[in-house]
Amino acid sequence: MIANREAYGNALVAIEPEHKNLVVLDADLAAATYTKIFRDKFPDKFIECGIAESNMMTVAAGLATAGMLPFVSTFAVFASLRAAEQFRNSVCYPHLNVKVVGTHAGLECGADGATHQVLEDLAVMTSIAGNTVLVPATPIATRELIKLAADYVGPCYLRVGRDKVNELYSETTSFKIGGSHKLRDGKDVAILAIGSRVEASVKAAELLKEKGINASVYDMYSIKPIDKAAIKEAVATGHIVTVEDHSVYGGLGSIVCQEVCALNKPCPVSVIGVNSFGRSGSAKELFTLFNIDVEDIVNAVLKQLN
Amino acid sequence: MDSNELKNLANKLRYMALEAIFCAGSGHPGGALSSADLITYLYFKEMRVDTQNPHDPDRDRFVFSKGHACPILYAALAEKGFFPKDELKKLRHIDSFLQGHPDLKHTPGIDMSTGSLGQGISAACGIAMAGKKQHKNYRVYTIVGDGEIQEGQFWEALNFAHKYELANLMIILDYNGLQIDGTNEEVMNIDHLKERFSSFGLNTLEIDGHNFAEIEQAFRQAKNCKDRATIVIAHTVKGKGVSFMENQVGWHGKAPTQDELNRAKAELEVA
C-alpha cells in the first residue's frame, strides 16, 4: 500500500521516456511530494525552486512557452492559493502546457493542522477558465491521471492526498479526462465521491446494503470537465449524495448541484464536505470530527431517503 | 542603424504608441515613453526575431514585465512587421488582438502574457532556463518597472536567476522614479538598488536609459558576461520626449486629448 503522492513520484519517472521535454519543479518539498524519486533518477530535469511558489509557478509558464513540459509540485495549499494568481494569469490565460500537482490536500493532511489542510483548492482551480482539474483516489488512478495530464496539452491541476490508501482499481483500468468510474451499482441512491472519500463511500454502500438499500458509488475523478453522463445516470436513482474532503463551497458538491439543477427532472442532492478550518489530528479522527466519514455518508443517505 | 537613426525611430514609435492610446481612450503613456529607447534598441538593433516565423524556437525572447506599457511594444512590433500598423488604432477595442496588457495567444510577436506585476521576470527566468536545458543559444530580455520591484516575487526571481547562473538573461529596470501614487520614495523605498542587485550576485550595470551609446555598451557587457545574469539599472524619464508628460505622475495612466496628441507629435518631430 502506498500514498498517491508516492504514486505521483513513480509516475513522473514512468512518463519520462515518452515526454523527453519533461521537467519537474518543486519548492523545497521534494521529499514530501515524492518528486525526489524523479529528482534522483533525472537530476538534470529537476528544478529546485526553493521556498518561492509564486516564482516557481511563473518559471514553469516560461518553460512551457519554450516547449518544455513542466510539472509543478508543492503542497496543494500553496499551489492553489499562494500561487493562484500566477497560475491564473501566467499559465491559464495564455493556456500554457503546465501541470500543477498539489499534495497533502484536505483534512487528510492531518497532524500539520489547519494551515496546511487546503479545503479551497478545487473551488479556486475549477473557476479558472481553461483549467482541467483531476482528483485521483488511488495509486493506479494517480499513475493513469498523471499520464493523461502529460498527454493533454494545456493547464491541468491534480489534487493528491498525503496518506497511504487502498487500491480500488486493477492494472488495466482505464481513465479519461471527463470520465468517472462506477464502483458499485445500485438503483436506490447514487453516492458521488472524490479522493479518499471514494473508499469511504464504498464502505458506506456496504453498510447500506445491510439495511436493504442499494447504492451506486461513483469516483468522480475528473472534476473539470465533469462526467455529465454519469451525473444523469445518478439522477435516475432519484437521490444523490456527494462526498469530498473539501469545502462544501465550490467543490464536487457544488458542481454536481449545478449540473443536476440544469436537468429537466432534477433530484435532491446532499452535499457532504467541510465548512470550517480543520485542526491537528489523524486523518481518520478528522474525517469523523468534521462529519465526512462512512457513518456520515450512511446517515445522509438515510435522511434523504426518508 | 546609428544612434541618431535609433533616436528618430524611437520618437516615431513614441508617437505611434500615443496615437494608439488616444484611439483607445485609455492606456499608460508615461511608462511607454520611458521604455521607448530600450525597446527600440532591442527590436531594431539587438534581437534575432523573424516576423515571418514569430514562433521560431531559436529566436531571442522579450518579456515586457511592466505589461501596462505595452503600446510602445505594439508600436515596435508593428513597425517591425509582425502585424499591420493600422491595428494599433484598434488598441483595447472589442475586436482587436491588441489587449490592454500583452497577450501571447493572440498577438504576433508577443513572447509572454504579462500585466500582473512581478511575474514577467519569473517567466523570463523560465524561458532562459529552458534555453539552457535545451542547449539553445537564444537570449532572453525583460524590462521591469521600478514600482514593480516592490513585488516580493521580483526578488524571488533574482534568487532563481542567480542560483541557475542564467547568463542568457538580461533584466532591464526602467527606473523612471514614478508610480501611480507618487514617487518611488513616497510609495515604497527602492533605494540602494545597485548594492541590492550586486548582493544578489547579479552582473549589475547602471546606464542612462535614453542614451543609445550607453544602452549599446550595456548589451555588449551583458553578452560578454558568461557566468551570471545581468541586471541593468536604466535611469529614464517617465513621459520622455513629450515635455508636458515628462516627470508627471498624472500621465501614468490616461489618454491624451487630440490637442495633446498634436502637440506631442510636434515635439517628437514626427513627420
3-state secondary structure B80-126: HCCCCHHHHHHCCCCCCCCCCCCCCCCCCCCCCCCCCCCCHHHHHHH
Peptide bond into A225 cis (omega under 30): yes
Q: State the catalytic residue, choosing from A6, A16, A18, A53.
A: A53
Determine, for residues B111 and A85 on separate chains, whether the beta-carbon distance falls below 8 Å: no
Contact residues for A58 (Cβ-Cβ < 8 A; gap 6+): A86, A90, B119, B122, B123, B125, B126, B153, B157
Across chain B, mean pLDDT equals 97
Contact residues for A19 (Cβ-Cβ < 8 A; gap 6+): A69, A150
Kindly list the averaged pLDDT for each block of 10 residues, start to end, along chain B of length 271.
96 98 98 98 98 97 98 98 98 98 98 98 98 98 98 98 98 97 95 97 98 98 98 98 97 97 97 79
3-class DSSP state for residue A207?
Answer: helix
User: What average pLDDT does range A184-195 have in this prediction?
Assistant: 98
- Pairing status of strand A69-75 against strand A132-134: unpaired
Q: Which amino acid makes up residue A54?
A: S
- Would the pLDDT of A22 be above 90? yes
Which residue on chain A is closest to B131 by alpha carbon? A66
Contacts of B105 in chain A (CB under 8 A): 93-95
Structure confidence at residue B24 (pLDDT): 98
Q: What is the ipTM score, two decimals?
A: 0.97
Across chain A, mean pLDDT equals 98
Domain boundaries, chain B: 3-267
User: What average pLDDT does range A243-256 have in this prediction?
Assistant: 98
- Would the pLDDT of A259 be above 90? yes
* Interface residue A58 vs chain B (CB under 8 A): yes
Q: Does residue A53 have an active-site annotation?
A: yes
Name the maximum alpha-carbon separation found in chain A.
60
Rounded Cα distance, B104 and B97, in Å: 10
Q: Residue A6: which pLDDT band, with cuts at 50, 70 and 90? A: very high
Structure confidence at residue A74 (pLDDT): 98
CA atoms within 13 A on the CB side of A76: 30
Residue among B105, B119, B131 whose CB faces A86 most closely: B119
pLDDT in tens, B217-227: 999 999 999 99
CA B182 to chain centroid: 21
Determine, for residues B123 and A68 on separate chains, whether the beta-carbon distance falls below 8 Å: no
pLDDT in tens, A102-151: 999 999 999 999 999 999 999 999 999 999 999 999 999 999 999 999 99
Q: Which of B99, B74, B98, B149 is nearest to B119 (CA)?
A: B149
Q: Residue A283: which pLDDT band, with cuts at 50, 70 and 90? A: very high
Per-residue DSSP letter, A190: E
Determine, for residues B129 and A63 on separate chains, whether the beta-carbon distance falls below 8 Å: yes
- B129 Cα to chain A: minimum distance (Å): 7
pLDDT in tens, A62-101: 999 999 999 999 999 999 999 999 999 999 999 999 999 9
Residues A198/A219, Cβ–Cβ less than 8 Å:
yes
Structure confidence at residue B271 (pLDDT): 79
- Would the pLDDT of A58 be above 90? yes
> Domains (ranges, CATH) in chain A?
2-165 (3.40.50.970), 181-305 (3.40.50.920)
Cell of B159: 534568487
User: What average pLDDT does range A154-160 have in this prediction?
Assistant: 98
Determine, for residues A66 and B131 on separate chains, whether the beta-carbon distance falls below 8 Å: yes
Residue among B103, B125, B164 whose CB faces A62 most closely: B125
CATH of domain B3-267: 3.40.50.970
* Interface residue B116 vs chain A (CB under 8 A): yes
pLDDT in tens, A206-240: 999 999 999 999 999 999 999 999 999 999 999 99
Rounded Cα distance, B251 and B178, in Å: 10
Determine, for residues A54 and B156 on separate chains, whether the beta-carbon distance falls below 8 Å: yes
The b/e string for B172-195 (b: 16+ C-beta within 10 A; e otherwise) is bbbbbbbbeeeebeeeeebeebee
Q: Which of B137, B134, B119, B138 is nearest to B63 (CA)?
A: B119
Determine, for residues B122 and A94 on separate chains, whether the beta-carbon distance falls below 8 Å: no
If one counts every other C-beta atom within 10 angstroms of the C-beta of residue A234, the result is: 28
Q: Which amino acid makes up residue B186?
A: E
Rounded Cα distance, A91 and A97, in Å: 8
Structure confidence at residue B202 (pLDDT): 98
Query: Per DSSP, what are the bridge partners of residue A25?
Result: A47, A72
Cell of B108: 504576433
Contacts of B63 in chain A (CB under 8 A): 62
pTM of the complete model beyond 0.80: yes
